[in-house]
Amino acid sequence: MSAEQTKPSLTGEEFTASLAEENRVALERLAQLSTAGEPTPDLSIERLLRIALKNELEASEVAAIWMSTTSELDVKLALARQTGDEAKHYRLIADRLKALGVDADRIDPREGGYSPLFEYLRALQSTAARVAAGQFTREGIALVRNQCFIDFCEALGDMETAALYRDVIQPDEMQHHELGRRLLTLYAATENEQQVARQAARRTLELAEEIQEMARLKAGISRAPGC
């Protein structure tokens, strides 16, 4: 343990519990913002599923980038699983779009560039920051957003899209989030790691909120699913 990595005042478990509480407050706010305002008539499920494709691609790609540069074996394997799961979500959503009459093969979610959240996450180097931001927090955001989207689908009577999210996608996102929680207790064990992890989680939430607000103000988009 180096000089900066002094014995932390919180254990990994205590730190994770405190970060969970901090995130819970921020996520409640994000959920409120996600459902703010009456949906405009042109806010269709198809439109929101297109945004979902972009989020799934970015989640898969970040996990893949990190996998190759993370040395801890359990984290590396967790990232490998996430890479595959998010790619599977992409395919399921593309299939759902096709069933709704959209030519999903012609959609390239990279048009318009990657999001600022993607750029932020991909640059994170420390395992504690990656697990805190990418798995524990981003997947926590996905759970909240997806639930808002499920409610919206049900309100519009699209039970099939709602079921896809509720029964297939959400259990995976929950698994990613819970894996993040477990890995965080292991890899946010020093004062320095805890500081880096908390900062990364906060910045992830800030960026998610900024992107969401921008989409709402510029394009009237709300209730979009996460990843």
Residues in touch with Fe ion (CB under 5 A): 56, 86, 89, 139, 173, 176, 227
Q: Which residue is nearest to Fe ion (CB)?
A: 89
| 106 closest CA partner among 158, 50, 66, 147 | 50
Q: Which is nearer to Fe ion, 158 or 173 (CB)?
A: 173
User: Based on CB atoms, which residue is closest to Fe ion, 59 or 189?
Assistant: 59
- Provide the angle, in degrees to the nearest 10, between the axes of the packed helices 170-187 and 138-156: 160
| In the complex, minimum distance from the CB of residue 177 to Fe ion, in angstroms, rounded to a whole number | 8
Query: Please, what is the minimum distance in Å from the beta carbon of residue 112 to Fe ion?
Result: 20
**Least Å from the CB of residue 5 to Fe ion:** 30
Other C-beta atoms closer than 10 Å to the C-beta of 112 total 8
Give me the least distance between CB of 152 and Fe ion, in Å please.
17
The rounded distance, in Å, linking the Cα atoms of 194 and 8 is: 8
Q: Give min distance, CB of 61 to Fe ion, in A.
A: 12
Nearer to Fe ion, 12 or 226 (CB): 226
CA 225 centroid distance within chain: 9
* Residue closer to Fe ion (CB basis): 176 or 198: 176
Distance CA 35, CA 69 (A): 37
Closer Cβ to Fe ion, 58 or 189, answer by number: 58
Look-up of token digits 């929680």:
181
Q: What is the spatial distance between Cα 9 and Cα 4, in angstroms, rounded to a whole number? A: 13
Quick check: 52 and 224 in contact, CB under 8 A?
yes
